[in-house]
Every structure is written in structure tokens, then in C-alpha cells.
Structure 1
């Protein structure tokens, strides 16, 4: 999910960087189309002049032809026709603009369908006679044979205005829905990123405190292994500081990190530990989120191995075929009253829910002094 959102965000960002894309919206696109259509029809109207197929004494029919020499010879006529055609189309654009800026986003969205119908009827009733009178007075309307009635209150004019509102309504609703959906998606992405950052900030101090305890225990025993352990701890902390900030890391780096941590813990413990770590990775460059698996191992030591009085063991298995990942952690365990798992496992569940919603499964069980934790992730 996170990878998909990042790719989508980068693509949208690159598209949005184009100046003409930032300035483009539906209203401007419709207006530009109207201007283009007016110029095209103006050129076709001039090209149809004096052509018996289209031009008679009663009216001019606009034919589907463009005659550039005739247009060049009648530039003033071409400009006049185009401007008058533009005014005709602007009548429809006027009602579309009101629908886009006021009727749909304000009336329909905030007050409901009933008020939208009443407001639309009021807009049509007030403005359609004014536009009808203006269009009927255009000279080009008479050349076309009286397209618009001399009576501005004719029902056809009101029907035309209502048709513009009705045809633009589903388009505006679809665009508003798309904008809201895009906004919701962006907000979800920002929320997920913020939550992941917060969880990582909680995880780093948690690990830091645990490793400081390890170092303190070694210093008390004045062990000869203390210098090596400090160096190893430094490598672990370097990984946490630099790799934890990355969204994905190679699984081979995560495996090395786990091995270093296990060796440090094995040195610190004063008891015998049967430690086994098996990693079968088909693609060692496979990318996974950092610091997911360490939580199980930390809990195994803190709540299992360290508290066990008898023989202790910790068996870890990590397998991946490139399509899925399976991590199994089995350790000796002795229940302690009033014990709790701490923030590590809680954060892990939250991170997995954000990173792999519906594509992961955590199963834990404690039976016969053995604690088992299993994690399965669908990486596709």
C-alpha cells in the first residue's frame, strides 16, 4: 500500500508541476472549447457564403467546409460571425457557470435536492428572457433565418437553459466526487505516513533502552567481550538510526541486523542458550520495512529466555520465496503474573495494519512453557 501511494503521489506531483495543468479546470476547459467552436463555426459560416448549397436569400446554412482564401478575403466578416457565435454559446456557459459555482457546490451540497430544484427554476426564470432578448437581437441570428424568437419569453429559451443545467449536473457531481475521493486518499496517505513516523519514533527509544541495559550488564561483569560488544552495539544503533528512516530495506541487511543482535544478547546472558537462526531467502535483495522482526526477538528475550529458570532455547526461522514472508519465533517461556508485552508488539501490529492491511497474519500461542509467534506477510 505504502509503495503504491508513494508512486501515485510522485506521478501526481510531476503532472501538477506543469503550469498549464495547474491552471486548467473544468470551467476554463469549457470556455476554451466554446471559443474554439465559435472560431471553427465562424470559419465554416464564411466559407458557406455565396455557395448555393448553403446560402440563399432567406437564410445561411453552415456547411461542413473551410475555404481559407474566402476567409482571408472576408476577415471582418469572419471576426463578426465568430464573436456573435461566441455570444450564443456564452449564454449556455452562463448557466453552466452558475451551476458549477453556486447551485451544485452550495445549494445542492448544503441544502439538498429540493432547494436545488427551486433555485435552478429561479435562475432560469430570471435570466432566460434576458439572454433570449440579447440573442434574438444579434444580426447573425437573422442571417441564420431567425434561430432565436423575437419573443424573449418563448418556452424554448427556458428549455435550453434547463437542458444546460440538467446535462452539466452529472458531470459536476462526478468531478466533485473525484475531488473528494482524491482528497480523502491524500489525507489517508498523510495520516499513514504520520502514524508510521510516530511508531518509529516510539520504537527507536524502546530499542535504545534495551541495548543500554545490555551494555550495563556487560560492564558490571568486567567482561573481556565488552569492547567487542560496544562495537557491535554501535553497528546496531547505526542501523536503527539510518535504516529505520527508510521505508524499505533489503532483507539481507535485516537478517544481518538480527544476527548481530542475537550475538550481543548471547554474550550478555549468563545462562546456556540453545540459539538457532535459520534464514532461507530466495531473493536476498527483497525489500521489506525495517525493524519489523526484531520485536518478536526482543520479546522472546525479555519475557521468555531471561525469566526461564531451566534450560532455555530460542529457535528462529525466516523464509521467503519473493511473494510472501514467513517468520517463526519459538522460545522457552515461564508465565509471570502482571506481565505485559510492552509497546513493541503493539506498535508492530499497528505498523503492519498500515503497511499490509489485509495482507498479514500474526499468531501467538503459549503452551507447555513454550511461546510461539508466527508472522505471515503477503508481499504482492
Structure 2
């Protein structure tokens, strides 16, 4: 029995005990014989009526099409318990059964109305709890679906970059280049981060930056001369925690759609700035004015990030803005930070 179930059980015991105590003075003030027995009998039958409806009739009959079966069963339960109450009163207490009422018929009417009230309370309380339980289950299902979707979105890494890196690694291996072993190690580290970090809710932003540096090194190995890629980081250590694999896809987008392969004046500029309230990551790359989508996945990385921001930040200020000119493309990620987020690293 969990804490919520224990509290519910104690609440039921407290309410029924209070009713027993509150109802007892009626018998005492009217000098009704055997007051404790009369009170206990009445309370026991009310318990039978309440829980018979809540635990038996409603779970079994309300799921059926139409309310007819449940209504007939509820009427039968209410009438049966009322008849049992009047019969036991007559058998156990005889002429004293209606003491405190103007007439026996008034007493019978009181029993019917009381049992009808308890049956109604049982129905509405149970229906309300069923509705709350269904709402919790629906919310849990939505949360699980969102978590699964988020994990899927996080786990995506640009296959274009991966295939290019493997091709470069193959060429270096064939040529017995000294960079090949280091390239294997760095690629393994990057892939390990891409796979295992997605299981974490948050990672330090500077950890993501280190893997961006690995990504840039793997990209530059393919060139015989240094390429104009700059990364400026303005973030006090240890930096805030962010979702893993949130910044790397933006860098991949620059490398995939940039023109460093053939444009001597081409460049990629990356800038991370962290303040007390916001993280801003901006990427800018040159591109061919006649640049066309290279594959069916064109723009998937940016849409991926937008979907993740909607799932994790909802209507908050988090946003990914883009600006394209004939020769450049800029992406700017704005991520609001909670106060003192930089001091709240989850246990790993």
C-alpha cells in the first residue's frame, strides 16, 4: 500500500467513525434501547451500500453500453439494503424500532431517503475519483510519449557528417596517415557522447562544447590547410545544464550546408554566450547563392531542435531563429535559464 492509498484508507476510516459518533446522540436523546447496537447496525448497512456500489456495481456495470444495467442494479442494491435494515430492526428491536419518529411510515421514509443519499454520494465520489485516475493515466501516457519522442529526437545525429568522417578515416587508413588513430579515438568519443548522453536529462553546457570541438577537429582533418572555423565561448565554469545534443546539430548544419570545400572566402563562426538568465548560441556560415537541398533530410536538424524546444519548454521564451541571405545562413538559439541553474547539476 503506497502513501496515497494509505491516506485514502485513513480518510475513509475517519469519515465513517465520525458518522458513527455523530449519529449516536440521536439514539441516546430519544431513549432508544440498545443505542450502540442500533448505531452499529445502521453504519454497517451504510458501509455495505456505499462500497457495494463503489467497488462492485460501478466497476462492473458502468463500462457497459447504456446506463440501464447499472441503474437497475443500483436500485436493487438500495432497495435490498433498505429492506434488510427494516427487517433487522423489526426482528431485533421490535416495537422500539421507530422511536424518535412520529410514525413507522416516517421512519421507513427516512431509511429510504438516507440510503438513497448514501448511494448518490457513493456514485459521485467514485465517479470523480475514476475521472481523476483516468486523467492521471492519460497525463502519464502523454508524458511517456513525449519522453520517448524526446529521446528519439536527441538520438539523431546527422548521417551526412558520419559518412563523410568514415570516408575520411578510410582514406587516412589507406594512406597510413598518422592522424588515423587519433581520428578513430575522437570519432568514438563523439559517438559515445551522442548515444549515451541522450539518456541524461541534462548535461553541463561546457561538456557539449568539448564535443563540438571534437566535431570541428574531425571536420578539419579532411583539409590539408586550416579552414576558417571559429568558436567563441563566453561562459563561466561550470556553466548551466542543458539538454544533451542540443547545440551539436546546429554545428552539423553549418558544416553540411557551408561552402568551405570550394569557397576560399568561406567561413563558419560559432558563438556561445551565457548570462544569468539566458543562453544564446549563434552559428553563421557562408553558402553558395545557388545552394539547393542536398538530400531529403534538408532542414530536419533545425526542425528537430524546434520540436525538442516545444516538448521541453512549451510556451517559454526558448526559440530557434534563422536568417538566410543569398550568401550566408545564421541560426540563433535562445534558451532561458532558471535562476542559479549553473549550480544545479543532477547526479550522474
TM-score range, shorter-chain basis? 0.7 to 0.9
The answer to whether the aligner puts 1:324 opposite 2:278 as a matched pair is yes
Which residue of structure 1 aligns with residue 342 of structure 2?
A: none
The answer to whether the aligner puts 1:177 opposite 2:105 as a matched pair is no
Secondary structure of the 1:298 match is helix
Which residue of structure 2 aligns with residue 164 of structure 1?
A: 118
The offset of 1:207, in angstroms, is 6.4
Which residue of structure 1 aligns with residue 44 of structure 2?
A: 90
The residue correspondences of 1:1-380 to structure 2 (distance < 5 A) are 19=1, 21=3, 24=6, 30=12, 33-34=15-16, 38=20, 59=31, 82=36, 84-102=38-56, 104-105=58-59, 107=61, 110-111=64-65, 120-139=74-93, 142=96, 145=99, 154-203=108-157, 208-219=162-173, 223-270=177-224, 273-282=227-236, 284-306=238-260, 308-334=262-288, 335-340=290-295, 341-342=297-298, 344-359=301-316, 360-380=318-338
The offset of 1:113, in angstroms, is 6.6
Report the RMSD for the aligned CA atoms in angstroms: 4.0
Greater RCO (CA < 8 Å, at least 6 residues apart) = 2
- Structure 2 residue runs without a partner (length 5+): 339-348
Mapped to 1, the partners of 2:97 and 2:53 lie a distance apart of 31
Secondary structure of the 1:59 match is coil
Preserved CA contact (<8 Å) 2:158 2:249: no
Mapped to 2, the partners of 1:368 and 1:226 lie a distance apart of 37
Preserved CA contact (<8 Å) 2:101 2:107: no
The offset of 1:109, in angstroms, is 5.7
Say if 1:331 and 1:192 are closer, same or farther in 2 by CA, change over 3 A. Answer: same
Say if 1:363 and 1:268 are closer, same or farther in 2 by CA, change over 3 A. Answer: same
Say if 1:263 and 1:184 are closer, same or farther in 2 by CA, change over 3 A. Answer: same
The offset of 1:260, in angstroms, is 2.2
Cα offsets for 1:7-36 (capped at 9, x unmatched): xxxxxxxxxxxx464864857853675368
- Structure 1 residue runs without a partner (length 5+): 1-18, 62-79
Moved more, 321-330 or 147-156: 147-156
Query: TM-score, normalised to structure 1's length?
Result: 0.71
Cα offsets for 1:81-123 (capped at 9, x unmatched): 6555332112222221233135544555655678766654454
The offset of 1:279, in angstroms, is 1.7
